[in-house]
Amino acid sequence: MSGQDPQELISMLNEDIKGEHAAIVQYLRHAYAMGEGEMACEIEAIARDEMRHLDW
């Protein structure tokens, strides 16, 4: 990464954050749509793991 344009690096990091946020929203939407149950809990756990990537 040495010599890389700082603005390009910031842009790449912002794109990564957007992807993580989109994944969180999608997982939570599906989990809540499923209602109660083991599968919904598993999907919600995945969403929480994605949140940890963003230090939420």
Our separate counts of H helices and E strands in the chain read: 2, 0
pLDDT at 1: 55
Q: Could you tell me if residue 20 is inside a domain?
A: yes
Count other Cβ atoms within 10 Å, centred on residue 50: 20
Instruction: Report the predicted TM-score, pTM, of the whole model to 2 decimal places.
Output: 0.77
Q: Could you tell me if residue 26 is inside a domain?
A: yes
28: containing domain? 6-53
Q: Could you tell me if residue 48 is inside a domain?
A: yes
Q: Could you tell me if residue 1 is inside a domain?
A: no
pLDDT in tens, 7-51: 999 999 999 999 999 999 999 999 999 999 999 999 999 999 999
Could you give the number of structural domains in the chain? 1
pLDDT at 43: 96
Q: Could you tell me if residue 27 is inside a domain?
A: yes
